[in-house]
Amino acid sequence: MSLSFQLIQNGDSALDICFQGTPGEALSKVIIALQRLLQQEMALGCWPGLQELIPAYQCLTIVYDPVQITGGGPTFGELHAQLQAFIAKTLASSSFPEALLRTQPSALIEIPVCYAEPFAIDMDVVCAHTGLARNEVIARHHKPEYLVHMLGFSPGFLYLGGLDPSISCPRKEKPALRVDAGSVGIGGAQTGIYPQATPGGWQIIGRTPLPLFDPQQEYPFVARPLDRIRFVPISVQEFESMTRNAAVAMHAGSEEI
């Protein structure tokens, strides 16, 4: 696979491996496969000082301990050179990235979303920006199968690809100080769900009753990178009954500890 990349310093304790190319499924497969391979090697102790790998649309961020890298371990120059050679060799392999991705096949996950008035607090902004009626924005939002590019931002947040460009809408000028948990938003050409109440800059067009993060579970998130997501529209009544059921299930879970 011929793909050019660059190592870019991201602060004093991280490097971004940035790939040339447009964000999409092919690039995400490369990034996730590379992450899995590096993760395996890190677990074997091949990369002393490397601590975290954060995949994104065009980059894989490597977080490292600068003290360990400089003190006794490889120097920055050596780390750069080693990574450069490692990535070039990996990309050149004919089985890359497919062989690495086969170990964790992708799943299709349905997420219920209520696009009704009480939850769609920024729908008017999106309608005004796109020139589309409310129903049309909703239809275009739940029609596609979205690709999970990565998790991040806050625990369990899914970065999804596949938003219909006709309903893209710029982020807020100033991030809102509080966005409710489960809120479904559009930020530029991206769409996603806020797993917790957090500050956030996206335009909110609906809400899911499904908890996106449950630390009691062995895998505490609803999806993995490269899984597919489908939004299923639900009514306010369905939202409320599902919220009650989720609360009962969570409560039952927490009573066991």
Binding residues for another protein, rule: CB under 8 A, are 8-14, 16, 18, 23, 35, 51-61, 63, 66-67, 70-71, 76, 150-157, 159, 171, 173-175, 177, 187-188, 190, 195-196, 198-199, 201, 213, 215, 220-221, 257
Q: Which is nearer to another protein, 60 or 184 (CB)?
A: 60
Task: Please answer whether residues 69 and 75 qualify as being in contact, where contact means their C-beta atoms are separated by less than 8 angstroms.
Answer: yes
Q: Measured from the CB of residue 23, what is the shortest distance to another protein in angstroms?
A: 6
Q: How far is the CB of 89 from another protein (least distance, A)?
A: 23
Residue 61, helix vs strand vs coil = strand
Could you give the CA distance from residue 8 to residue 134 in angstroms, rounded to a whole number?
42
137 touches 200 (CB < 8 A) = no
- Our CB check for another protein shows the closer of 174 and 251 to be 174
What are the residues whose beta carbons fall under 8 Å from the beta carbon of 141, sequence distance 6 or more? 115, 163, 164, 167, 184, 186, 191, 205, 206, 231
Q: Output the smallest distance, CB 55 to another protein, in A.
A: 6
How far apart CA 100 and CA 181 sit, in angstroms, is: 34
Give whichever of 50 and 234 is closer to another protein, judged by the CB atom. 50
Measured from the CB atom, the residue of 54 and 101 that comes closer to another protein is: 54
> Hey, is 42 helix, strand or coil?
helix
Nearer to another protein, 83 or 150 (CB): 150
Largest Cα–Cα distance in the chain?
62
In the complex, minimum distance from the CB of residue 107 to another protein, in angstroms, rounded to a whole number: 16
Q: Provide the minimum distance between the beta carbon of 164 and another protein in the complex, in angstroms, as a whole number.
A: 18
